[in-house]
A and B are shown apart, each in its own frame.
Chain A
Amino acid sequence: MKNLKTLFLFTTLSMTALSDALADTRVGFVYVGPRTDFGYNYAQDQGRQYLDEHMDNVSTLYFENVPENAEVQRVMERMIRNGVDIIFPTSYGYLDPALDLARRYPDTTFVHSGGLKTADNLSTYFADIDQAMYLTGMTAGLMTETDRLGFIAAHPIPQVLRNINAFARGAQSVNPDVTTSVIWTAQWSNPTAESEAANTLIDNGADVLAGHVDSPINYTQTAEQRGVYAVGYHADASKFAPQGWLVGAEWNWGPMMVDIVTSIQDGTWEPTHLRGNLTTGATQLTEFGDNAPEEVRERVLQARDEIMAGDLHIWHGPVVDQTGNELYSDEMPMEAVESMDFLVQGVQGRLP
C-alpha cells in the first residue's frame, strides 16, 4: 500500500516537474471568497482568465475561500512546493503571511493586491478605483433630489474609506449641500443586512445609494424596489436595477496582470507599488443606466477625461474631516490616501 502511494506521489510530482521543464510559467491566485461572488474576487478572477487567454506560456491556478488567517500561509506554501512561480495573494490580509513566505522562498515572486509593504521578491498592485468612485459620486450628486445620499459599507479599512470619501467629495463637487450617510454592516457579505441597511438609508431620505460590500446586487435591488437610484461597485449590476442603475465603478485587472507577469518573465520586474487608474485602464466607469440623462452623462464623462488627462486630481486640497479640521490644504499625498483613516466633511456616520 505504501509503495502504491509513493508511486502515485512520485508520478504526480514528476509530471509537475515535467510540465515545469516545458517552461510554462505557473501563476497561482488566492481569493478570500468565492470567485463567483460577483464582486471583488470575481473581478480578480476575471483578471486571471484574461491572463490565461492572452499569454500562451502561462498556466494559472487558483484557490478560493481562503480566509485571512492561518490557512493562507499553508495554501501559498503548498503552491510553492508544487512548482508555482508567481503568486497573486489578492486580499489585503494576506500581506504578512506573504512577506513571511517571500523571505523563505526567494525564488518565488509574490504580487500582492493592495499592500503597502514590499520585499525583494514581493511587489504590490492596486488600482485607484476611488477615481471612478468620485465620478459615481458626481453622478449621484447631480441626480439626487433630496440632497441625501446613502453608502453601505462593510469594514472601515482604508480602501473602503477612500471610496466613501471619494464618492462624497465627487458629489459635493457638483452639489455642495449634499450629505452622505454611512451604515456599517460589519460583514463583507450579508444579503439581509445589506438590504435592510439600504432600506434604512432610504427611510431616512436617501435617494441614491452606493456601497462597498462584496457584491452590489442586494443594495442595488433594494434601491430599485423602493424606486430610488443606485451606483455600483466591483461589478456591473445594472441588470438588477434597470430603472435605478446610474453607473458603477469596476476593476479591469487583466491587462495589468499581463504586464506584471510579462515583466517577471522578461526580468524587468521591480518590487514596487504598481498602481493603475482610469488613465491606464485598470479601473473604469461602467456603462450608464438607461435613466441617466444626457447632461449628467456628458458632465461626468468630461470629468473623467479631465482625470485621465491629469487635469483633475480627486484628492486635491482642501481635504477637511468631519469635525471641520483641514487636514490637507494642498493635494493629499498618495501614502496618506492609501492609509486613510478618517471620513471627510459631508459624511454622516462614525468609524466603528
Chain B
Amino acid sequence: MEMLWTELGIMFVIALRSASPLLAVVIGETLTQRAGVINLGVEGQMLLGALTGVAVTFHTASPVMGLLAGCMAGLSLSLLHAWLVLGFKANQIASGIAVLMLGSGISAFYGIPYVGQRIERFESLKTSWLADIPLLGPVVSPFSPTVLITVLLIPVAGVLLYRTRWGLRWRAAGESPEISRNLGENPRRYQLIAICLGGLLSGFGGAALSVDYTANWVEGMTNGQGLLAVGLVIVARWNPWLTLPAALLFGAAQAMNLRLQSWGVDISSYLLATLPYVLPLAVMALSYRSLRHTGGGMPEGLKAVFARSA
C-alpha cells in the first residue's frame, strides 16, 4: 500500500513538473473562455513568451527578468487578438489562428541567434528558505519556482471567478452580454482583460518552459501544447479548480508512456505515445453521466461564437 502511494507521489511530481507550462496556459485560457472569448493563438503566445524569456535571460543573466519579459510578450501578442475580435468583431477562431501563426513565425525568426545558447537558471529551491518551512518545505522544494507559481494561480483564479463579485460579472460577460449589460457592465471590458490575462499567462507558460524547464530555446519548442491547452479547458469543464487534474492527466500519461517503455512493456512506443491523447477522451467519456444535464459547462456566450460564421 505504501509502495502505491510512493509510486503515485512520484508520478504526481513528474507529471506536475513536465505539465506545469501547459497548466499555466490552461488556466489563462479558462479565464479567457469564461468571459466568452476563445483564443486559439495561445500557442503562438506561448512560443513568443518562450523565446522572449530566453533572449532576455541571456542578455540580463536574470531568469526572473526573462519570466517577466515572457509574460509581457504573450500579453502583447494577445492584444492583436483583442483588437481583431473586440475592435473589428472578426471571427475569433480565424483570428486565433492568425495570432498562432504570427507568434510561431516571429519566435522562429528572431530566435535564430539564441539556439544553442546557454542561459542562467533558477537556483534550486532546495537550498532556499522554502525548504526550511516545516512540513511544507520538503514537499515544495523539489519543484522549480514556476511550477509553484503556476499551482498558486489555481486558487487565485478559482476564488476570483467563483467567490468575488468581480468574478460574477466576469462570468456574466461570458454567459450572456445582455445580463452583463443589465448589471450595468460592459462585457467587452471583461473580455479585453480576459484576453490580456490569457496572453500574460500563456507567455508565462512559454517562458516557464524555456527558461525554467529546458533552459534553452529551440524553434517550435512547445510542440502544440498551446493548442492542446485550449482543448484541455474543455476537459476541465471551464473550471479553474479542475485545470490541475486535467493537465496532470496529460502530463502523467506522457510520463507513463516513457516509464512503460523503460519497464520493458512489449507495446510499440508509437502506440504508447497515444496514451496522453486517449486518456482525456476516456476521462470525458466516464464523466459523461454527471455532465449530461449541464451541457458540459460551456459558457453560453462561447456557444454563440461557435454558432456564428465568419
Contact A350 B266 (CB under 8 A): yes
Asked if A189 meets B218 with Cβ closer than 8 Å, knowing A34-B115, A37-B115, A196-B254, the reply is yes
Contact A195 B214 (CB under 8 A): yes
CA gap between A38 and B259 in the complex, in Å: 28
With CB as the reference atom, state the residue of chain B lying closest to A240: B118
CA gap between A197 and B259 in the complex, in Å: 8
The yes or no answer to B221 lying at the interface (CB within 8 A) is yes
The smallest beta-carbon distance between A32 and chain B, in angstroms, is 13
Give the chain B neighbours of A218 by CB distance below 8 A. Answer: 214, 216
CA gap between A133 and B220 in the complex, in Å: 28
Contact partner of B268 among A195, A348, A352, CB < 8 A?
A352
Contact B254 A193 (CB under 8 A): yes
Give the chain B neighbours of A181 by CB distance below 8 A. Answer: 262
The yes or no answer to B5 lying at the interface (CB within 8 A) is no
Contact A34 B108 (CB under 8 A): yes
The smallest beta-carbon distance between B127 and chain A, in angstroms, is 14
The yes or no answer to B112 lying at the interface (CB within 8 A) is yes
The yes or no answer to B247 lying at the interface (CB within 8 A) is no
Contact partner of A36 among B219, B264, B269, CB < 8 A?
B219
Contact with A along B199-237 (1 / 0, CB 8 A): 000000000010001111011110101000000000000
Of A21-29, A199-207, A281-289, the stretch lying at the interface with chain B is: A199-207
| Complex interface residues of chain A between 335 and 352 (CB less than 8 A to chain B) | 348-350, 352
Tell me the interface secondary structure of chain A in the complex: mixed
Contact B14 A221 (CB under 8 A): no
Contact with A along B1-19 (1 / 0, CB 8 A): 0000000001000100010
The yes or no answer to A235 lying at the interface (CB within 8 A) is yes
CA gap between A203 and B14 in the complex, in Å: 11
* Interface size range on A against B: 35 or more
Give the chain B neighbours of A214 by CB distance below 8 A. Answer: 218
CA gap between A240 and B257 in the complex, in Å: 27
Contact partner of B213 among A37, A187, A195, A204, CB < 8 A?
A195
Contact A196 B218 (CB under 8 A): no
Contact partner of B14 among A189, A196, A239, CB < 8 A?
A196
Contact partner of B223 among A33, A34, A184, A192, CB < 8 A?
A192
B-side interface residues toward A, CB under 8 Å?
A: 10, 14, 18, 108, 111-113, 115-116, 118, 209, 213-216, 218-221, 223, 225, 254-255, 258-259, 261-262, 264, 266, 268-270, 273
The yes or no answer to A209 lying at the interface (CB within 8 A) is no
Contact B261 A184 (CB under 8 A): yes
Give the chain A neighbours of B112 by CB distance below 8 A. Answer: 34, 36
CA gap between A33 and B112 in the complex, in Å: 12
CA gap between A348 and B259 in the complex, in Å: 13
The yes or no answer to A191 lying at the interface (CB within 8 A) is yes
| Complex interface residues of chain A between 11 and 54 (CB less than 8 A to chain B) | 33-34, 36-38, 42
The smallest beta-carbon distance between B22 and chain A, in angstroms, is 9
Contact A221 B269 (CB under 8 A): no
The smallest beta-carbon distance between A125 and chain B, in angstroms, is 25
Contact B214 A215 (CB under 8 A): no
Contact partner of B115 among A38, A184, A203, A221, CB < 8 A?
A38
The smallest beta-carbon distance between B116 and chain A, in angstroms, is 4
Contact A204 B218 (CB under 8 A): no
CA gap between A34 and B51 in the complex, in Å: 15
CA gap between A197 and B255 in the complex, in Å: 8
Contact B258 A187 (CB under 8 A): no
Give the chain B neighbours of A149 by CB distance below 8 A. Answer: none
CA gap between A302 and B36 in the complex, in Å: 68
With CB as the reference atom, state the residue of chain B lying closest to A187: B223
| Complex interface residues of chain A between 173 and 230 (CB less than 8 A to chain B) | 181-184, 186-187, 189-193, 195-197, 199-201, 203-204, 214-215, 217-218, 221
Contact B218 A200 (CB under 8 A): no
CA gap between A192 and B270 in the complex, in Å: 17
CA gap between A248 and B261 in the complex, in Å: 25
Contact partner of B216 among A204, A240, A349, A352, CB < 8 A?
A240
Contact B255 A38 (CB under 8 A): no
